[in-house]
Structure 1
């Protein structure tokens, strides 16, 4: 099976729980009640990670790129959907799944190389590939580690 077909299959098999809302969205509102689906946030996103999700509502897709926390989505939105941007953008962090190549004995540290916050580290182990771990306190949830992962082993979740 080609990688394009696998990629399309993953796209259409995404679970609703995998959807990531935009940074700084108020937690006390029903996003789908307040968002008008005007797509201004999609157009404003400098890394093009905001896509039309279920029902046409915007959501973040880290398989495209990372969130740079530029705040352009917040500035472009005409609705009162967002909290003050001096607060943490969201309560999400990366997690490593069992499909990680290091767990299969293959030396790979692409996620660590992509992480500017140095939240991902690898521990050397005798007779094994170095094993990954994520410091969730240091992880900003930017998603920089997701796209470079060759085995789609990193999820950003709450």
Structure 2
């Protein structure tokens, strides 16, 4: 469920302007800069994705929704795009998974769904006394595929963009 965020500054509140959304994850091999510069918003990548995780965002550009499924890195989106948006010479994703405070294991409930779903074994579980094992993410092993996001029953796993992390640090 996506909520609309209102800028509560006086002028923007009275005019109904919304806060700008943080940059959403883009399809594999596409960076925000290349999407902004070259994407025409034709949407050819949307039906090409066999996983059904690509949709056009509020700006008419492709963005990923990992709540449905994960990326299989098939490249169908890149092949369907008529513009120079995709560069398969670069790593597929810049983002990595982040496990939030709503994680069942962190709340004392036994769950290992994210680790079971991770094809790269980037999420492992560390034993602790007096509670269930806790997830630990090896960011160097995370491919950004989103399998853990789709599998998490608590919706505690998200993806984080490195540029956003640096801006909030």
Q: CA deviation at 1:86?
A: 4.2
Question: CA RMSD, aligned part only?
Answer: 1.7
The corresponding residue for 1:23 is 28
Whether contact under 8 Å (2:34, 2:85) holds in the other structure is: no
The corresponding residue for 2:3 is 12
Q: CA deviation at 1:13?
A: 4.1
Number of residue pairs the alignment of both structures matches:
147
Q: CA deviation at 1:82?
A: 1.6
Q: CA deviation at 1:30?
A: 5.0
Alignment TM-score, normalising by the size of structure 1 = 0.86
Alignment TM-score, normalising by the size of structure 2 = 0.81
The corresponding residue for 1:53 is 57
Larger radius of gyration: 2
Unaligned runs of 5+ in 2: 6-19, 162-169
Which stretch has the larger CA shift, 95-104 or 49-58? Answer: 49-58
In the alignment, structure 1 residue 41 sits paired with structure 2 residue 45: yes
Give per-residue Cα distances to partners, 1:47-84, cap 9 Å, x unaligned.
Answer: 0000121222110000010001101100100001121x
How many angstroms apart in 2 are the aligned matches of 1:96 and 1:13?
A: 23
How many angstroms apart in 2 are the aligned matches of 1:13 and 1:146?
A: 21
Q: Is the alpha carbon distance of 1:30 and 1:18 closer, same or farther for their aligned partners in structure 2, counting shifts above 3 Å?
A: closer
The corresponding residue for 2:97 is 94
How many angstroms apart in 2 are the aligned matches of 1:69 and 1:32?
A: 22
TM superposition outliers: structure 1 runs of 4+ over 6 Å? none
Q: 2:76 aligns with which of 67, 72, 77?
A: 72
Whether contact under 8 Å (1:19, 1:60) holds in the other structure is: yes
Q: 2:116 aligns with which of 113, 116, 121?
A: 113
Higher relative contact order (CA 8 A, sep 6+): 1
